[in-house]
Amino acid sequence: MNSRNKHIPVHETGQEGEVEVRIKTLREEIEQHNYNYYVLSAPTISDRAFDERMKALQDLEDMYPEYADPHSPTQRVGSDLSKEFEQVEHAYPMLSLGNTYSEEEVREFYNRTVRLLNEPFEIVAELKYDGVSISLIYENGVLVRAVTRGDGTRGDDVTANIRTIRSIPLKLRGNNYPGKFEIRGEVLLPWAEFDRLNKEREEQEEPLFANPRNAASGTLKQQNPAIVASRKLDGYFYYLLGEALPEQGHYENLQIARSWGFKIPDVIRKCRDLQDVFDYIAYWDRERKSLPVATDGIVLKVNSLQQQQQLGFTAKSPRWAISYKFQAERAVTRLNSVSFQVGRTGAVTPVANLEPILLSGTTVKRASLHNADIIEELGLRIGDDVYVEKGGEIIPKIVGVDVDARPMMIGDQVRFVTHCPECGAHLVRREKEAAHYCPNETGCPPQIKGKIEHFVTRRAMDIGIGPETVEDLYNAGYVKNIADLYTLQIPDLLLLERWAEKSAQNLAASLEKSKSVPFERVLYGLGIRYVGETVAKRLAFAFRDIDGLKQATFEALTSVDEIGGRIAQSVLAYFADERNLLIIDRLKTYGLQMATDGKIPVSSGKLKGLSIVISGTFSNHSRDEYKAMIEQHEGKNSSSISKNTDYILAGKNMGPAKLEKAVKWGIRMIDEEEFLNMLAL
């Protein structure tokens, strides 16, 4: 279609039927590929081919808005509009299950069911996923509402956020579904995405999520669905409700719901007797750590819907179902002290120093106490025997105190400090934040050194020194901020211990080379709170130079893709501080790049949708340079090999584990020359 008639209504071009059919076909095809990828985990086309189809559909919908459909797969990205969540009453109360923690309690549940029913029955065993409970309502095969558990009677309407989750069908497959029904399940954050989010938060010195459940819950509470869309949540479903369900068995209904497009876990089993139940529990207690999502137990349900109705409910939970909670590995050890660490952004983190204890195969000596609220809730005293678990199997945390073991002569109660342990400044706690901060950015040693350490990293200015050298330069009085680095003189460096002529010259050369580092990396190196690598690139290419960014308003900042209110406020606060402006002026004087080169990197799109893993060492370019090339040409840098990997950029000394996986899954390996030829560089 040429540009001249692309905005003419289709009824005037005679192409109405053709366009409508093309849009409908693309939507159906894309939803099928979404289903293959997110539900079946068996993609049949490459990411690139998928993206091409999505772009074609988006273009057609833009040209012909009369064919807009809120259920189109193009709408899963999420609007950036904010709104308060509406409270919705559940048609069927979302009751919690009774918990058991031993096989004996499971046996009691089973025997009680035998007595109450006095007839044969089947037990369905399922994994208990550790996420956020959700209820979805479908009418005529279309998702109309998604509601959180809330208090069990009423929950939050989070439909806009749920629509961004690609494994959840907006329209059902087939036609054998009831006119109206409800399906319940769990919204989960996979381990891989949890690790990525925490790494990102750690780089910005934000509090880490303790486990995937907290991260999923926090994500669903976001007022901006576009943020939710970026976090790759998943949805697993396990219970169907309605007046006209297809079968009288819970298990059978779930198998049918799978054919409608729902992600029904394939680990659900019908158990013939109590021994089957115990075998299922024992198996998954061992194997659950290999799953892509967090689990914390087993759910047992009577299969027959008629028998469920016969057994009924207590005030709090159904009599026909129960959950068996896996025992988290827990240890008891002594709390020796609590220290308070100050990070680069001034965030103060309390750390419990423990008597060393073996937990989940590693020796634990320290555990994060996160913030003042948790310390107060635990009621800790120095010398207490404390219970330590690994939250989400990863982060050691104190979950309780053995008060009964507390001796009469016990240490002082642990209280959060009121003043910075490093510089003495009075700590502040910002509204709606759990963390305390030291406001003395330019006079607090850990903050000063942390900013310098951040500035010299490879991803920022790539200046060849590490934390120990930064410590030496700071203690010697040579460097008190990032601009001071460019005033260093070789004779002064030679006065320090362990410095020789060669090492001093190397640093001087590294500083000189850093003056050619592009503006977006300089911006990242400044260490503005919440401005990571990606945000720095967005800001650099949106405002072109440091002066443009300095003068940007809140509205101008938030109009940039992926820049929200929190980031905008942080940028404004940074440039409102005269001390920061003086440092920037000095960096300008020393010759650092404070503007883009006038050219926004243009992608060829040659790697669009391709997942590429880099492994080994290279001679033509560094690993970081290759990663930048992949990103620039719209490819995806992946740190680990999976069945979805398209290529491995293989250098010398490629890891044997990656090589084995590549051979096993038949993933194509390319060398530097072949990769560069792909880009025609």
DSSP 466-479: -HHHHHHHHHTTS-
DSSP reduced 3-state for 579: helix
Q: Determine the CATH number of domain 330-405.
A: 2.40.50.140
What is the set of active-site residues?
128
Per-residue pLDDT at 446 exceeds 80 = yes
Per-residue pLDDT at 350 exceeds 70 = yes
DSSP one-letter string for 430-487? -TT---EE---TTT-HHHHHHHHHHHHSTTTT--S--HHHHHHHHHTTS-SSGGGGGG
Q: Which residue has the higher pLDDT, 407 or 120?
A: 120
Q: How far is CA 349 from CA 299, 440, 499, in A?
A: 37, 16, 34
Domain borders along the chain are 10-77, 99-325, 330-405, 445-589, 611-679
Please name the residue that has the structure tokens 């989400």: 392
C-alpha 99/C-alpha 84 separation (Å) is 33
Mean pLDDT of 605-623: 80
CATH number for domain 10-77, candidates 1.10.287.610, 3.40.1180.10, 3.30.300.170, 1.10.1510.10: 1.10.287.610
Q: Which residue has the higher pLDDT, 575 or 458?
A: 575
φ and ψ at residue 213, rounded to 5 degrees: -60, -45
Q: How many Cα atoms within 13 Å fall on the side-chain side of residue 201?
A: 14
Q: What pLDDT shows up at residue 58?
A: 82
Whole-model pTM? 0.53
Q: How far is CA 152 from CA 92, 159, 231, 642, in A?
A: 9, 17, 26, 39
Lowest mean pLDDT, pick from 60-69, 163-172, 227-236, 447-456: 60-69
The model's confidence at residue 76, banded by pLDDT at 50, 70 and 90, is low
Q: Is 510 exposed, middle or buried (0-12, 13-18, 19+ CB in 10 A)?
A: middle
Per-residue pLDDT at 288 exceeds 50 = yes
CATH number for domain 445-589, candidates 1.10.150.20, 3.10.20.30, 3.90.226.10, 3.40.50.300: 1.10.150.20
Q: Which residue has the higher pLDDT, 589 or 624?
A: 589
Percent of the chain with pLDDT over 70: 89
Q: What pLDDT shows up at residue 200?
A: 77
Residues found in the chain: 681
Per-residue pLDDT at 604 exceeds 70 = no
Task: Quote the mean pLDDT of the chain.
Answer: 85
Calculated CA dihedral for residues 599, 605, 606, 609, nearest 10 degrees? 130
Please name the residue that has the structure tokens 């979404």: 34
Sheet holding 668-670, edge to edge: 636-638, 611-615, 647-650, 668-670
Q: Which fold does the domain 611-679 belong to in CATH?
A: Rossmann fold (3.40.50)
Per-residue pLDDT at 50 exceeds 80 = no
DSSP reduced 3-state for 161: helix
Per-residue pLDDT at 644 exceeds 50 = yes
- Highest mean pLDDT: which of 359-368, 496-505, 666-675? 496-505
Alpha helices in 138-249 (DSSP H): 159-162, 191-203, 212-220, 225-230
* Structure tokens, 467: 């934390």
Q: Which residues, in sequence order, are CB contacts of 273 under 8 Å at separation 6+?
A: none
Mean pLDDT of 267-274: 94
Q: Which residue has the higher pLDDT, 178 or 315?
A: 178
Residue pLDDT, tens place only, 237-250: 999 999 999 999 99
C-alpha 146/C-alpha 85 separation (Å) is 11
Percent of the chain with pLDDT over 90: 45
C-alpha 662/C-alpha 300 separation (Å) is 40
Query: Is domain 99-325 in CATH 3.30.470.30, yes or no?
Result: yes
Q: What pLDDT shows up at residue 529?
A: 86
Q: Please check whether residue 334 is in contact with residue 398, taking contact to mean a CB–CB distance below 8 angstroms.
A: no
φ and ψ at residue 536, rounded to 5 degrees: -60, -40
